[in-house]
């Protein structure tokens, strides 16, 4: 999930860059050459950002569950972990019962 979150943040940075000086988009700089109408690209980025948010924001794992995935030996708050796991799996069960 951290990779997805990182990618979402990169999309935001790229969108801001498109609206700014296109530092990360040298090909776009060459194509627009003075014309600053990058609205099609910005619209595409907005749709992509929205799609990622819709898909992955509802799939939020708490910090304790992410810690379990990264390294289970780092979990020190067992009660907090247990509560988080119970809430997450309860949400999953509700979601699957609606499908």
What's the domain range around 65?
Answer: 61-99
Q: Are residues 65 and 94 in the same domain?
A: yes
58/84 Cα distance (integer angstroms): 15
Q: Are residues 12 and 52 in the same domain?
A: yes
Structure tokens belonging to residue 35: 């014309």
Q: Are residues 97 and 76 in the same domain?
A: yes
Reading the chain (99 residues) residue by residue, the pLDDT tens digits are 567 778 888 999 888 888 887 777 778 777 777 666 778 888 999 999 998 887 776 666 777 787 788 888 988 889 988 998 898 888 778 777 764
Q: Are residues 84 and 43 in the same domain?
A: no
pLDDT at position 17, please?
Answer: 85
The structural domain count of the chain equals 2
pLDDT at position 99, please?
Answer: 47
Are 28 and 41 in contact by the 8 Å Cβ rule? The answer is yes
Q: Are residues 50 and 84 in the same domain?
A: no
pLDDT at position 1, please?
Answer: 56
Model confidence pTM above 0.85: no
Q: Are residues 43 and 88 in the same domain?
A: no
Q: Are residues 74 and 93 in the same domain?
A: yes
Q: Are residues 47 and 28 in the same domain?
A: yes
Helices (H), 20-57: 26-32, 39-56
């Amino acid at each position: 999930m951290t990779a997805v979150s990182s990618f979402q943040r990169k999309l935001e940075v790229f969108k801001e860059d498109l609206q700014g000086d296109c530092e990360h988009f040298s090909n776009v700089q060459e194509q627009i050459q003075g014309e600053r109408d990058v609205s099609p690209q910005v619209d595409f980025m907005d749709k992509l950002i929205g799609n990622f948010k819709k898909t992955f924001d509802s799939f939020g794992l708490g910090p304790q569950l992410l810690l379990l995935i990264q390294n289970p030996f780092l979990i020190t708050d067992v009660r907090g972990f247990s509560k988080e796991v119970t809430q997450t799996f309860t949400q999953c069960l509700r979601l699957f019962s609606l499908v």
